[in-house]
Each structure stands twice: as C-alpha cells, then as structure tokens.
Amino acid sequence: MGPGPISAYPGVLRAMSAPLVGQYDPFMTSAMVETQELYRSVWATRNDATLLIDGTSRAGIEAALVSLLRPGDRVLVPVFGRFGHLLAEIAERAMAEVHIIETGWGQVFPVSAIEEAIVRVKPHLLALVQGDTSTTMNQPLDEVGAVCARHGVLFYSDATASLGGNDFETDAWGLDAATAGLQKCLGGPSGSSPITLSDRAVAVISSRKRIEAGIREQDDPDAADFVRSNYFDLGMILDYWGPRRLNHHTEATSMLYGARECARLLLAEGREAVIERHRLAGEAMLAGVRGLGLTVFGDVAHKMNNVVAVEIPDGVPGDTARAALLDDFAIEIGTSFGPLHGRVWRIGTMGYNARKDAVLTTLAALEAVLRRFGAPVPVGGGVEAAADVYRGA
C-alpha cells in the first residue's frame, strides 16, 4: 500500500507464467499488435506509434528523451518533486540544454507559469511529470498542450504514477509523447514501459534514423545526428514493432504478456470505471487518515487519486513504525525523498489494491501501530471515516 510498486493483479501474474515463444513466432507478432491496440485505448489516442519499451518506467523516459532531443536542443522541465529532477537529469545526459523552473514540493504549476517560461526559454521540448509520487501531486495537463502548440514546442509527459488511476487524454490534451510503467495504477510488475508518440514526435525521431549494420538495407537512412543510445533508439524500436519487424532486441516475452493483461483488465472493467475506483479509494483513504487525526501534506486539491502523503506525528519514529506495519500486518507503506524524507509517509491506493477491504485494513493496522507508539488517535476513527465515504458512494 505504498507509492509503488504495488501488488499485481493475480490475472497479470498468471498471464506472465504462460509459455515463452520466439520473437519470430506468429503468435509473438499477433500479441504485439494486440498490445499496441489495447494501449491506444488506455492512452486515449489514435497514435499508430503506441508500443512498449522493454525496461522499467525509467527506460521509457530515457527512450523518449534521448530520441527526441538532439545535443544542444533546449528543453524546459518544470520541477515540483523528485521526478522532475529525474527528467532534467536524463535530458542533461542526452546533452540537451536544460532549463528548469521550480515550485515548492506539495504544489503544482499554473499553466500561466509554464507558458511564461516557454516564451522566455523557447524550448524544443517541454518535459513535464503528471503525477509525482514523491509529493503525491497531480500536475494539470489539460491546457498545456495548447500552449505548446501555440509556441511550436513538443510536449512530453511522464505518466508513470498516474496512468490508469487519473484522467489522461493523450490526443485531447495535445501530447506528443508520453510514457508510463506497469507497477502503479496499471497493476503489474515493474519491467515494461508503455509509450505513445504523435506523428510530430515520430517525424523528429525519423529524421535521426540510423539502422545498425547487419540488418541495414541499401536505401535505409543513415542520419549524421543519430540517436546515441542503441537500446533506446526509438527509430529502431519503431521498426521492430512496425511492419518491417526489423530485429532490434529479444522481446521480453513474459513482460509483454503481463503488459497486455494489465491493459486488457483495465479495458474490461472500463477505463472510466477504473479511474473512478481509484478516485473513490483515494477519497476514502484521505478521509481515513484525517479521521486518525493525521495532517495531510501538500495541496490536496491537486493530489493524485492513488496516493496520499501524511505528516508523521511528533514522537512517532517513522521508519520503525513502518517496519512494525510490515512485520506485524504485512502491509507496506512508503517514506519519501529529499526534503520529505522522514517527514511524511506515503500511502497508496492503486491498481489491485484500490479497493475497499485494502483501504479499511490498512487504516485499522495503521491505527494499531500509531497507538503502540503513543500517538493519540481516535478509536476506529480512520476506518469509520473511510467507510462513510464508501457508504456515501
């Protein structure tokens, strides 16, 4: 019940135990095509270039940034938590000219601040986290795409922590690229990163295209400013997933099965229904921690549906209490990073665990642990407050 990774859906784990097939087996090709179509619905996009990057969510981020950014390109990164700093770090390693704007942890950016920075910096690309689990904040994106289009800027978002549990409208919001991971609201294990790319993003990637020797054909492009990573070269990965099926790497078959099942389960339940389930579980957990008398961190109006941060009560040893929750109740919650380390706990309600029994059990266990360490918590206050939310729904 932390900020991720979380407990995977049992069906995803079953899917991952299916027998392996070779990358040239027709079933592999059909599974890849089916997975692409499923994730177009997950992302709410018609983008043909919708696929998986083999690797954790960070692999998807790196593939997007190193493929879209040439050395010297300007990139603007609004930072409101740890993972904005990560985007800046990866962009810097891609030898881009990185410009950062910052706001306090626990806050988000108004679109006016982003537009002002775009006008000032004139970036090639805006790289913006949607949901940053380090602070639990959910950056509004719905107006940002129009700002980027107005100024001729590519728009990339990291939706690792938010996709599946919060609204994300790739086409309607004007995203050019977005990446995620399975281990949060999508309810799978870490190890596969869904990505979607607009035609405009694909055009940038294609202009840097270089196909490696051994599979290159006579008329294939060979750009001088090719992507400097081989593994994360989206030009070659798109050819691997596209009609040419050019060999690039050995597909992570079990992860493909798992990612496909994550998307299938989400769409079988209904995309909007899954987001609403996360909203309800998040609202119940928020009411529950407040019912225990805990102080919620950050701008609650912009909190993600799927995780809440609470201030650790005075006199309660944060890490020791977390260990007790894990040892005695088999429930894991998270600490945080940087300025919030040792100050807050982060409690997740996502994927398979965005459900009533998990919320109520966590609150009951947390109450017991808090009481053990001397915190004056109301008897049953958390469970009853959360149950009231569910009853009201």
- 3-state SS of the chain is CCCCCCCCCHHHHHHHCCCCCCCCCHHHHHHHHHHHHHHHHHHCCCCCEEEEEECCHHHHHHHHHHHHCCCCCEEEEEECCHHHHHHHHHHHHCCCEEEEEECCCCCCCCHHHHHHHHHHHCCCEEEEECEECCCCEECCCCCHHHHHHHCCCEEEEECCCCECCECCCCCCCCCCEEECCCCCCCCCCCCEEEEEECHHHHHHHHCCCECCCCCCCCCCCECCCCCCCCCCCHHHHHHHHCCCCCCCCCCCHHHHHHHHHHHHHHHHHCHHHHHHHHHHHHHHHHHHHHHCCCCECCCHHHECCCEEEEECCCCCCHHHHHHHHHHHHCCCCECCCHHHCCCEEEEECCHHHCCHHHHHHHHHHHHHHHHHCCCCCCCCHHHHHHHHHHHHC
Q: pLDDT (tens digit, 9 = 90+) per residue, 88-124?
A: 999 999 999 999 999 999 999 999 999 999 999 999 9
Q: pLDDT (tens digit, 9 = 90+) per residue, 230-281?
A: 999 999 999 999 999 888 999 999 999 999 999 999 999 999 999 999 999 9
Residue 334, pLDDT > 90, answer yes
Rounded mean pLDDT of 288-293?
98
Residue 336, pLDDT > 90, answer no
Q: pLDDT (tens digit, 9 = 90+) per residue, 155-194?
A: 999 999 999 999 999 999 999 999 999 999 999 999 999 9
- For residue 337, the model assigns a pLDDT of 83
pTM, rounded to two decimals: 0.96
What integer best gives the mean pLDDT of the chain?
A: 97
Rounded mean pLDDT of 301-305?
98
